[in-house]
Amino acid sequence: MYCKHCGAPLLDGAKFCGTCGAPVPPADGKEQGNDRETEPPVSSAVHEDAPDASAEKVHEDQHASEHEERQMVAVPPRDAAVESADTVTERRPATGKSWIHRKAIMIPLVSLIIIFAGLYFTGKYLTDPVRTVDAFEQAVEDQNIDKLKGMIYTYEDVKMTDTQVKAMLAWFKNDPDTYSDIVQSLENTAHAANHVRYGHTPYYLHKAGKQYLLFDHYQIATELIYPEVTTNLKNMVIGITGAGKGKTAEKAESNSPQTIKLDGVIPGIYTFYGHSDAMDQTKKRH
């Protein structure tokens, strides 16, 4: 079998001419191959008669072959580039889904942080001892008995009554200097570090447990006073008007007086009474 371009003999199964590099067309059959072997090479005669034209044709064929080889070599990088672009395109949806997943987690988390921060600062504001002192002053000014009953705290945890709150308000009205000292002490304590008690006034700021689980709860505190009354009248009933039950001086004698200790009350001005068959007296004391 011979090359169609240069007439050089070809090896069996060769796809390109080893001499000029021209591509070899596939054989149609065995007979066609045998006919080519027996026929004289036409290109050979041409080669002998016109060597310049044949050489020029070989040069062109070689150039075309080299160009084709370069094109074949250049193809794989293009395919790789296309494949790389496809890979990036396929990965983008995965990246988007990942961001959406993180966003779905972060948004509720940030919302919870904002809510808890808001609740914390709100609770801190509502439990500020300065607000407690301001509320106490306003309630005294307004003579708000119901509000003051909920604000006054005693260590004995005695329930405040209207009579006791009225007695306190009567004292503040009767002795404004004392009330001014009490207010000054409350304000100094509210603004002091760790809210340490300032002064020794009858009413002061006291931490009474927790409020909203996290914050200290401050109340206006005081200590109960247990009035004592001495009488020498047997069976005299002694007490405070509107505050508890009276007590009877069963052991009192004319030459041996008896001292009666009454129920505890908060500091204020109260009306004391004493009833007996021999005498009936009522006096105000504070």
DSSP string, 248-280: EETT-BTTB-EEEEPPPB-SS-EEEEEE-SS-E
Strands lying side by side in the sheet with 236-240: 243-249, 236-240, 270-275, 280-285
Domain check: are 187 and 255 in the same one? no
| Total domain count, the chain | 3
Domain presence at residue 119: no
Residue 253 dihedral angles phi and psi, to the nearest 5°: -135, 165
Pick from 181, 195, 176: nearest CA to 130 = 195
Domain check: are 206 and 257 in the same one? no
Domain check: are 198 and 240 in the same one? no
Domain end point (choices 42, 61, 91): 91
Degrees, nearest 5: CA angle 124-126-131 = 110
Domain check: are 4 and 72 in the same one? yes
Domain presence at residue 15: yes
* pLDDT one-digit tens code per residue, 77-102: 444 444 444 444 445 555 667 777 78
Domain check: are 212 and 237 in the same one? no
Q: Which two tokens stand for residue 202?
A: 């009858």
Pick from 208, 40, 220: nearest CA to 130 = 220
Report whether 167 contacts 269 (CB < 8 A): yes
Residues 6+ apart with CB under 8 A from 34: none
State the average pLDDT for the chain.
76
Domain check: are 6 and 26 in the same one? yes
- What is the distance between the alpha carbons of residues 186 and 202, in angstroms, rounded to a whole number? 11
Domain check: are 217 and 233 in the same one? no
Report whether 252 contacts 263 (CB < 8 A): no
* pLDDT one-digit tens code per residue, 53-74: 444 444 445 544 444 444 444 4
Q: Provide the pLDDT for residue 19.
A: 78
Domain check: are 202 and 253 in the same one? no
Q: Provide the pLDDT for residue 35.
A: 44
How distant, in Å, are the alpha carbons of 11, 26, 46, 94 from that of 36?
14, 13, 17, 62
Domain presence at residue 265: yes
Domain check: are 136 and 195 in the same one? yes
Report whether 37 contacts 1 (CB < 8 A): yes
Report whether 205 contacts 216 (CB < 8 A): no
Domain check: are 217 and 242 in the same one? no
The answer to whether residue 37 scores a pLDDT higher than 80 is: no
Domain check: are 142 and 66 in the same one? no
Strand, coil or helix: what is 242?
Answer: coil
Expressed as residue numbers, the domain containing 55 is 1-91
- What is the distance between the alpha carbons of residues 44 and 50, in angstroms, rounded to a whole number? 10
Single pTM value for the model: 0.57
The region that residue 126 occupies, defined by phi over 0 for left and psi between -120 and 50 for alpha, beta otherwise, is alpha
Alpha helices in 39-50 (DSSP H): 42-49
Domain end point (choices 190, 222, 254): 222
Share of the chain above pLDDT 90, in %: 36
Domain presence at residue 72: yes
Domain end point (choices 91, 117, 150): 91
How would residue 48 be classed by pLDDT, with cut points 50, 70 and 90? very low
* pLDDT one-digit tens code per residue, 115-130: 878 877 777 777 788 9
Domain presence at residue 17: yes
Residue 210 dihedral angles phi and psi, to the nearest 5°: -110, 155
Domain presence at residue 104: no
Domain check: are 189 and 273 in the same one? no
Domain presence at residue 110: no
